[in-house]
Amino acid sequence: MEYVSFEGLRLDGRRANEIRRPRHAFAIDAQCDGSARFELGNTVIECRVDGPSERKFGGAEEGASEACALTCSHGRSAFASDGVQAGRKGDGRSKQFESVLAKALTSAVCVDLMPRCEVQVRTTVLCDDGGARAASACAAVLALADAGIPLKGIIGSCTVGHLDGEALIDVNRDEERGRGPELWTCALSAGDVPDDDENEDDGEDHLMGATGNHITVIVEELERGKTTMETFKSMHDLALAGCETSARYLRISLRARTRALAATRALEKF
Amino acid sequence: MRVALGGAEDAGPSGVDRDRDVARLVRSTYARRDVACGSPECVAHAELNAALGVCDFLRSREQGCRAYVVPDLCAFRKYPEVFASGVVRDVIASRAHARRLGGRSGGGGSGGLPSMTRSIKGDSRAMGKNRSVFVFDDEHCVEVVRAMRSSSISREVACAAHYAKKVRGKFPIVVVSDAQAANAANAADDVGARDVFPEGVVVLSVEGFIEQFCGGSEGEAARAAYEAARDAEDEMEGDSAVASTSTGTNYEAHWNERDVELGLSEGVLVKGVLKVKALGVKCEGHVDGVFIPSKHAMNRAMHGDVVAVEVAPESEWCASMINTVLEDEGVRESDLSASVSSSPKTRTGKIVGILRREVMDVVACLDSIDEEEITRNPHAKRNGALCVPMDGKIVKIKLLTRRANELVGKRFVVRVDRWRENQRYPNGHLIRVLGDVGDVDGEMAALLARHEIPAEPFGARALAELPREGTNWVVPREELETRRDLRHHRACSIDPPGCTDVDDALSVRAVPQSERGANGGAFEIGVHIADVSYFVQPGTTLDHEAQTRGTTVYLVDRRLDMLPSLLSENLASLLEKRDRLAMSCVWTLDENLDVVDVWFGRTVIHSRHQMTYYQAQAIYDGKPPPVDGSTVFEGEDDIAVVREDLKTLVAFANKTNAIRVAHGAVELESAELRFETDAQTKSPTEVIQKSEVPMMRVVAELMILANSAAARATHSVFPSCALLRRHAPPRQDGFAELSRLAATKGVKLDCSSGEALNASLARIANECDPEVTTLFKGLATRAMSEAQYVSSGSISATESSFGHYGLALTYYTHFTSPIRRYADIVVHRQLIAAVEATEMEKKATEDATRRGLDSLAEHLNERNRASKRAQSRCGEIYLLWLLRENPMIEPAVVHEIRDDGLMVFLPSFHIKAPVRLVDDDGNTVEELRESDLVDVSPGYNSSESVTKWVQASPVVGVAGTRLRRSDDVLEVVRSSDGVVLRSYSLLQTVWVQMTCKPGRAQGPKLELRILDVEAHAGAREARLVARRAAPPPAPASLSAALKNVIKSRNPLAMDEDDAGDDLDTDENRDERVARHLNVPSKRLRDPLAASLAGLALMDDVFITVDDSPMDALRVVPINLSRVSDSKEFAARRAACDAWARFVSTRSAGAAGRARSARRSQRLEDAHARVADVKRARNSHLL
């Protein structure tokens, strides 16, 4: 199967460095403290956040960390993907995903501000068209922000695959089936979009320059193909760029959300 | 709800219940504006098209385009010969169609479009053949997607409308579709509304299209292809009508595509390439070790196809029946009874699917029975004839044509179309006629067609890209300014006589004392390579043509150039006394000729002399140069200067060669037939044996050095996309036959490493006849794997190193012949980028090249193989042509014993050929006696005193005798009493008479008959004497050459024994080595020691191992007369020990490298001792 055409177009018409169209919605579930839906093309993720609330267990023991604990749980709807179940709740793969996501999010949350608290993050894959892990991380960031959890920065996340000798960002389901090496990356972007919204166009340069001390979490599934150092390097470079792009999207959407909220409260300028 | 749940649970990997599941698939697609259209008429996408290199798929009106053609799926399916084979130009295929056609299994289809889609991806097999079809990515083109969504027009029409906007009415866009044309006609009848189609789009049926747009000579081919395909269609309908009652062969249906895929993934089926061993009554083949016993099991697959095989249960396994010399020709029925199966049973299977058809175009001639019938009755109406392919491994083809009577006695190209279950032979249609059978021009055309070697002249567009000045071109000023000027270096080229495409020149410059830098460079040796990449810019038509050709093909009577002759013979060629652009590799050497620095870059050079090998050798030897070239020497001084240069070059080359040999470089040989041809008739008059002078090896060595240096340089900068040449270590089983043969001579062949193999071959050379030695070297060459181009980033290359086994180099590539090899041009570009580009540019180059390089490497490998095969077959044709008039008598070595004869090896031509010892009735054939031969010498110009013979009596067997075969002896036995009349054993030297057996279908063949042992002893003796009298000058032994160098540099050194070096027997060598190394001679039995001994035999050479990253081996001359010095002995032994350890760790691979740390300590000790000795020696000399 040919994944990248002669012209450099992928199966769904994107180029190697193009991410699927992202969409988002805030406060989809009034029952919890914060929630968000994030979509990447046909991949749809919902995330619910509870907290910060008093730590129910684990906090009482002697010597336990004072800081806020962030736990993640990951679920999939039965109809998330066609045919084969990619992973059920509680299997090794989703366990690993939960712990990695918790680690990544903890790095972005100001845990010291909420001592002896806990935050629960629940992600659900409603539809999986590839890249569910990256989309879940993005959804979690939006939901955390919606819940009003203080964040140090925005975590951007993306997956990168390698097929037909080329690193491809944001692989979809068809491309995931190509069984190439895959890389899931979360990176904390400390940069900020400029305050005045007029020059959003040149925000990119600003952003790229502002990546200071980012924290990166990488999950590799490289054993699928023979991955050379060069392959990995090209994938990694693309992944970091991709994280930056998705972080920018999240930041802009959060800003728009805040502005909308402010408008409803008749605040003049936020 | 229950059903849905149940379905989900059932969906196991069994796949049986899968059909009941319905999975809803949702795919998102991104439509975009920047989709390449490949049309030179399009302004908006011009840049994009250029970047992708798709500018020349479609033409503009200026280039003679009359219409763009958009066939629908049905037209492609029915007439791939018309639309997908380059007959009709300017064809646009929708990507959706291309994918649907490409996904089809090759089983019954003609596979027209798969090749096309591959051509656009840059696949090697079809590259360049089909640059007439452009696959347009309509699925992602926003205009097409919108048009199809908003109105109910077909995909083809939407594409056409998109293109119509681009060409702005200059010419129509024709949608070829039978169904839509019919609809349109109906609609026109009804309403009279023709405007259902967008402006500029015309919808025609296939027939209508052929009528309207395929006139003139260009359209002739299209019309013919259409008619053939239509006839085939009719025929097939006729066939299917009678299919139920057909009594012909009924093959099993192929499995459908999905089952085959499933079977492969579950391991039920085996995938592999079918290798046909024999066709005919007995039909056998192999797929990846699985035996295919019959035609029925082969199930319509052809030689070379990629197939899926189902392995039968063990009870049904059977053994190969064929072990006769005639396996190439198909076996006669009488042989079936004679050949009793002797081989063990093997895995047996049958073919259930064809994944890819390899054979598409086949060179063939009419079947003799059909031909007779046609000549008897030329005007009878018939719509086909059976034809026989030239390649004996391909089945006969039913040619559908109404012009069969024009094909009598011709060779032509047939394209295989389809092969249905009930057909005995596949259908095919005529592509083109090549020439007469048996005529040399016809045979040569057939040869070129068979190996797919492009022989047509260069296109006008390619020629237009050459420099406008033509032959008056001079180096432009800006090039003079930007390049390093090496015109003051004395550069000379050394080539074979008559060579016009001078790729390389060599230069030597003694650096004046004042200019010497800190590194002590005393000499600058330059290898200057023609800078073809300056003239051939990437992306141009010229570049594409050169890439398609891949290499220049040298045939006996012609040369098929890779580049137009203006470039290859003039502008790029490094002609003497002219300024030329070059890509140079300059080594700086110190006094000891050790390399201290390498420089690569673009230069301007000025060649002083264009010498031939023989001139250079004569000058080096101190003789007056023969006048066989064009160059003129101005007096003795000029020659003396050149001689000094040559001396340095020879010394340097010998030194590096010694290092390579010590690392295990294997020197193997293969023969190249050369012919003296008659100027007028072009018929060959004599076979010329290649006469080798040492200078050839010297030049070759310097080229090898330049190549490896270039490879190292490009690889260090572009580790993931350097084009390298890799020669994998041989597989041990390849040597099994060789070892077995050697065992019959009592020699144990050790092939574990290059060093060991060298030593074993040397032993054989010592013990056996020269003929046998040649056989062994030839067989060893065949057993080696083939060197190949690889991209260093490709996955396949990571499996082991990129090293070149035969040359014993870690990195190797082709860099020195850009005029005749495309790979060299690629390497030049990479090298220029490596040495000149900035980091950013390097990254860009790397990214740009990585994608295409794998397929490019594969394409070049394929072209290389094809040209090699064509060259050797061409030599054979000429040899046979010569034999037709003058049969020859030659010695031969028996190297395999078969049931009905022998396989012999002719050392003088490096040809393996069968000798059949039974006739068709199973009686043995007599040896040729003197009385059977007729002397035809009168008209023959006999400079040698050998009589030429022609065969007088036909090959008739003697009744009452039969053959008896044992493992390594074939005996002729009288049936009545079992008395052995004659016997032939393995490796026995026999004398054979070579004649040419005319063959119709497969071309002429070599026929051999063994001469009576007693007969013609005198003639053979004379022949031997004649041969011995003028032996080809032996290549100077390296040790001797090195000795000369050292002597000239160190006049104090005295030779103990300068003569008789080469005549030493093995024992003597061992002894001498033992004496010099002061080691117990038992150690020399070690396989490692052989190579060590080879080096140490250069008596006055001292070897030390330099632990530098280059793994360099240092060769230091020492004074032999002082060898008695005990200290020196100790040091010598220490150095040798170190060297031995070094070699052993090297061959031990990873484990050995892990020990390198410990080794280095020991090496240091050795070095210290060496230094001591050097000091001691110096004090002696002082």
The string of pLDDT tens digits covering residues B341-359 is: 445 677 888 888 888 777 6
- How much is the pLDDT for B949? 38
pLDDT at B379 over 50: yes
Mean pLDDT of chain B: 71
Measure Cα distances from B574 to B381, B503, B508, B607 in Å: 60, 6, 16, 7
CATH number for B43-188+195-237: choose from 3.40.50, 3.30.9, 3.30.70, 1.20.1300: 3.40.50
**Closest partner residue to B27 among A6, A9, A12, by Cβ?**
A12
B8 CB near a chain A CB, below 8 Å?
A: yes
Q: Where in chain B is the domain with CATH 3.40.50?
A: 43-188+195-237
Q: What is the mean pLDDT of residues B921-925?
A: 69
Q: Kindly identify which residue of chain B lies nearest to residue A8, measuring between CA atoms.
A: B52
B1049 CB near a chain A CB, below 8 Å?
A: no
In a domain, A209, yes or no: yes
Cβ contact B740:B856 at 8 Å = no
> A165 and B25 in contact by Cβ < 8 A?
no
User: Strand pairing partners for B32?
Assistant: B141
Rounded to the nearest angstrom, the minimum Cα separation between B426 and chain A is 29
Strand order in the sheet with B349-356: B290-292, B284-287, B269-278, B306-311, B349-356
Q: What is the ipTM of this complex?
A: 0.80
> A13 and B36 in contact by Cβ < 8 A?
no
Q: What is the mean pLDDT of residues B103-111?
A: 32
> A165 and B850 in contact by Cβ < 8 A?
yes
Which A residues 226-245 touch B at CB under 8 Å?
Answer: 226, 228, 230
A129 CB near a chain B CB, below 8 Å?
A: yes
Q: Kindly identify which residue of chain A lies nearest to residue B794, measuring between CA atoms.
A: A165
Q: What is the CATH number of the domain that holds A261?
A: 3.30.230.70
- How much is the pLDDT for A208? 33
**Digit-coded pLDDT (tens) for B194-220:** 456 777 888 888 888 888 877 666 667
A58 CB near a chain B CB, below 8 Å?
A: no
Task: Please report residues of B whose CB lies closer than 8 A to that of A237.
Answer: none
Please give the Cα distance from B1015 to B990 (Å, whole number).
12
- How much is the pLDDT for B904? 85
**Closest partner residue to A6 among B31, B120, B854, by Cβ?**
B120
Task: Please report residues of A whose CB lies closer than 8 A to that of B54.
Answer: 6
Q: Which of B129-133, B542-546, B1072-1076 has the highest mean pLDDT?
A: B542-546
> If 0-12 CB within 10 Å is exposed, 13-18 middle and 19+ buried, where does residue B142 land?
middle
> B121 and A6 in contact by Cβ < 8 A?
yes
Nearest-10 crossing angle of helices B541-549, B822-836: 130
> B35 and A7 in contact by Cβ < 8 A?
yes
**Digit-coded pLDDT (tens) for B170-179:** 888 888 888 8
- The DSSP result for B740-804, as a single string, is HHHHHTT-----SSHHHHHHHHHHHHHHS-HHHHHHHHHHHHHHSPPPEEEETTSHHHHTS---B
In a domain, A189, yes or no: yes
Please give the Cα distance from A79 to A156 (Å, whole number).
27
Measure Cα distances from B305 to B358, B413, B506, B1069 in Å: 5, 19, 47, 53
**Closest partner residue to A230 among B36, B95, B719, by Cβ?**
B719
**B434: Cβ contacts below 8 Å, ≥ 6 apart:** B363, B410, B411, B412, B413, B442, B445, B446, B449
Rounded to the nearest angstrom, the minimum Cα separation between B141 and chain A is 9
CATH class label, B887-932+958-1026 = mainly beta
Long-range interactions of B208-217: CB distance < 8 A, separation 24+: B208/B181, B209/B69, B209/B174, B209/B176, B210/B82, B213/B66, B213/B67, B213/B69, B213/B88, B213/B174, B214/B88
Residue B1046's pLDDT band (boundaries 50, 70, 90)? very low
- How much is the pLDDT for B200? 81
Give the domain range for residue A239.
22-57+65-269
Q: Which two tokens stand for residue A88?
A: 């059920």
Task: Please report residues of B whose CB lies closer than 8 A to that of A165.
Answer: 793, 850-851, 854
Q: For the domain made up of B257-330+339-440, give the CATH fold.
A: OB fold (Dihydrolipoamide Acetyltransferase, E2P) (2.40.50)
A99 CB near a chain B CB, below 8 Å?
A: no
In a domain, A88, yes or no: yes
**A75: Cβ contacts below 8 Å, ≥ 6 apart:** A89, A122, A123, A124, A125
Q: What is the mean pLDDT of residues B1133-1141?
A: 59
Cβ contact A8:A86 at 8 Å = no
In a domain, A6, yes or no: no
pLDDT at B579 over 80: yes
Q: How many interchain CB pairs under 8 A, A with B?
A: 64
Cβ contact B139:B37 at 8 Å = no
Q: What is the mean pLDDT of residues B1065-1092?
A: 36
In a domain, A17, yes or no: no
- How much is the pLDDT for A210? 34
User: Strand pairing partners for B50?
Assistant: none
Q: Where in chain B is the domain with CATH 2.40.50.700?
A: 257-330+339-440
- How much is the pLDDT for B950? 41
Please give the tally of structural domains in chain A: 1
| Residue B291 Rama label (left phi>0; alpha psi -120 to 50; beta) | beta
A223 CB near a chain B CB, below 8 Å?
A: no
- How much is the pLDDT for B1047? 39
Beta strand A69-76 pairing with A117-127 = parallel
pLDDT at A140 over 90: yes
Overall pTM > 0.80: no
